[in-house]
A and B are shown apart, each in its own frame.
Chain A
Amino acid sequence: AQRVTQPEKLLSVFKGAPVELKCNYSYSGSPELFWYVQYSRQRLQLLLRHISRESIKGFTADLNKGETSFHLKKPFAQEEDSAMYYCALSSGNQFYFGTGTSLTVIP
């Protein structure tokens, strides 16, 4: 069965500090993985996907098939990064979401 695990419900970092949001998955095939973000009072939106290998708003995520992980990283956190972050896995017609990590960047 497909499953996405985000072990941290809450994460606080100081502005300018590095941040890493953890995501582990279980999937029997080749996964399609995403990070979605929900800023306060806004709708859930795509942050980045592993297939595009791009950096969005300074965030990157590398798929590690050996560790079955897709951690989201940013070297220098900004206050505007405070939000709820969801890791998601796509399997055929469905998306499976983790429980989310609430990131707070302290000024």
Chain B
Amino acid sequence: GAGVSQSPSNKVTEKGKDVELRCDPISGHTALYWYRQSLGQGLEFLIYFQGNSAPDKSGLPSDRFSAERTGGSVSTLTIQRTQQEDSAVYLCASSPRDDGETQYFGPGTRLLVL
């Protein structure tokens, strides 16, 4: 079956521009997670959705970052006024349960801020 998909695959933007990253989770998965992975680093948790609600936004690095999820499915991560330090791979994962386990990852969006 279809896995988690993310778009775009790659995004190059200029400093100060806004970007929107999209995640399509596996159908029926209630939990959705966003992570950031800087070059050669591990995964940094950003935000967690349970249905359309985001009970844990603790990982968002600044108020320039926001995310929403609609219809219990698609999620978008928006970064406003991008900075060079925002350059990273943004990974989305979904899970059929809300226990934090069994997360299925998408291929990621590679963001480069010039």
Instruction: Determine if chain A interacts with chain B.
Output: no
